Amino acid sequence: MQKQSKQDPGCREPYTERLVVLELLGRNDGLDPAVLETNLLPIEPRFVRDAVAGLEEAGVVVVKGTRVYPTAALRRLDTLTMICV
């Protein structure tokens, strides 16, 4: 397994995607993407945007208007404690 670069904390897509998922768990009202980007600093906002886009394409999150929401499937997996931190 490769180590994440200290110079570029958002360089690994799966890493940033996991952080986005963790930020959204338990938030049925979603998050504004700007807040999500701020919460995930020092990861560059472009990496957060790429992660959100990848998660949306995979059906893990939904972007509606100006908010990012967990899908019903993600919320259910969280309820079933299938996602453990």
Question: If we measure between CA atoms, which residue out of 71, 69, 61 comes closest to residue 29?
Answer: 69
Domain CATH code at residue 18: 1.10.10.10
> Does some domain include residue 5?
no
Block residue for tokens 């397994």 = 1
> Does some domain include residue 50?
yes
pLDDT digits (tens, 9 = 90+) for 11-50: 557 999 999 999 999 898 999 999 999 999 999 999 999 9
First-to-last CA distance in the chain?
20
pTM: predicted TM-score of the whole model, two decimal places: 0.82
Per the structure, the complete domain to which residue 49 belongs is given by 13-79
54 touches 17 (CB < 8 A):
yes
pLDDT reading at 1 higher than 60 = no
> Does some domain include residue 71?
yes
> Does some domain include residue 38?
yes
Count CA atoms within 13 Å of residue 82 on its CB side. 9
- 66: Cβ–Cβ under 8 A, 6 or more apart, which residues? 32, 33
> Does some domain include residue 17?
yes
> Does some domain include residue 39?
yes
